[in-house]
Structure 1
């Protein structure tokens, strides 16, 4: 008789019995099960889950073509918009880490975060162009800058090499996503407000973000097909 426990034989992890916990599975399932249901309403813009998923894949593909990969930081200075929502999925789809910047911080604090986070690509809404322009004057190793040209904000200026929509066109909807090797991989980098000094970095991982999202569903007694008016800044705690 073998001395090895029967439950330790031929029961290794495989694709049939194990999957890494990640919020990325939420968007994949939504697009698969509810492809034609509305996912986002932003003014006159309406997207379905299928469209949102494809845009997230395009973002991931475009970033990869730009040289962004696992462990790279992508910073986002954005309002509550489809672009910011898509970044929460598109950025980690290639193993990169999303850094949603606090739009209330001044240029000095933003510059500190960009340098401390070793930001490789910075997406910025033109609503915050003044702050970002001043911050970039401080930053030594400047990231690639891509503008979010929100049609519902007419002020501000474009600072980057291209716009979000044009950048998206360089990516592919057929991009093979979900290249997550470990649920302990970082998914986002957040920063405290720095009330006692410089902002402090806080790292979230895929597993923790997944479980936190599920806990909110349970705690709030979320019904099937809820409609949610997103009023708090998406950057706040970077929730999925």
Structure 2
């Protein structure tokens, strides 16, 4: 046995599991009052966003959600999607972002196959959510997101997202993953002839993919990122986790139209976005 194999095992002083949760924790501590989220009239800094993520984690834990449970979301590019990307894994649960373009049968299959305990859904998808949940044959906790940028709509549940957050603790002591190979998200394929196939991401992979994005784009401090890529798609190419690495601002774009995109670029001084070129026509 060489000298490099003796007494040099991983220990808390020299090793920690890699997780994108570290990004928001650090940025909220170092840049608490820098802008984090822009969505219509909503403006929040990183301290506020971190507190909301912790509230979500705390509230879900209070509802019995624990490590290894699946929390599904059916949301457009809105702040609640960012909060779910951090709040859900803070309790060791696994985030399942559902493709909002699929029909009720496909959504029901994914909820069933992924063993979802919770579904957080926007009112825009009321009809699909109602039909999909009805196909399950067992109840799950459904949480209604009422986005002012969408309008009134019809609630998907009696439990409102903001009411759920009010149940949570903004100082909640969330769980660091015990193993960086712990699952952080579950995504499903679509557009195939058979049933969707589930793909599991772990904390380590999410961390490395996220940092690679920032490096590949040669991003500097305080980028302003516009969400054109659907945040349900491969976790928004991991851009949901990427924004706090450099204390950036996530500008939410619910209406994926050329006018909305160009207006956001001009109004919010956007520095980065990803998306298919066709959306700019």
Tell me the residue number matched to 1:105.
Answer: 102
- Structure number with the higher helix fraction is 2
Tell me the residue number matched to 1:75.
Answer: 72
Q: CA deviation at 1:66?
A: 0.5
Q: Which runs of 4+ in 1 moved over 4 A?
A: none
* Alignment partner of 1:91 is 2:78: no
Q: Can you give the 5+ residue segments of structure 1 that lack an aligned partner in the other structure?
A: none
SS of equivalent residue, structure 1 residue 40 = strand
- Mapped to 2, the partners of 1:91 and 1:220 lie a distance apart of 27
Tell me the residue number matched to 1:134.
Answer: 131
- Aligned partner (choices 153, 160, 174) of residue 163 of structure 1: 160
- Aligned partner (choices 225, 230, 233) of residue 222 of structure 2: 225
SS of equivalent residue, structure 2 residue 143 = strand
- Mapped to 1, the partners of 2:129 and 2:100 lie a distance apart of 10
Tell me the residue number matched to 1:151.
Answer: 148
Q: CA deviation at 1:161?
A: 3.3
- Mapped to 1, the partners of 2:188 and 2:220 lie a distance apart of 32
Kept after mapping to 1: 8 A contact 2:146/2:152 = no
Cα deviation digits, residues 11-40 of structure 1 (max 9, x gap):
232221111110000110110110000000
- Aligned partner (choices 172, 183, 188) of residue 186 of structure 1: 183
Q: Aligned pair count?
A: 237
Q: CA deviation at 1:155?
A: 4.5
Kept after mapping to 2: 8 A contact 1:72/1:120 = yes
Tell me the residue number matched to 2:231.
Answer: 234
- Aligned partner (choices 15, 29, 43) of residue 18 of structure 1: 15
- Mapped to 1, the partners of 2:18 and 2:104 lie a distance apart of 36
Tell me the residue number matched to 1:215.
Answer: 212
SS of equivalent residue, structure 1 residue 162 = coil
- Aligned partner (choices 103, 111, 121) of residue 124 of structure 1: 121
SS of equivalent residue, structure 2 residue 234 = coil
* Alignment partner of 1:33 is 2:35: no
RMSD: 1.1
Q: Can you give the 5+ residue segments of structure 2 that lack an aligned partner in the other structure?
A: 242-281
Cα deviation digits, residues 59-95 of structure 1 (max 9, x gap):
0000101110111000000111111100000000010
- Mapped to 1, the partners of 2:148 and 2:114 lie a distance apart of 29
Q: CA deviation at 1:133?
A: 0.8
* Alignment partner of 1:60 is 2:47: no
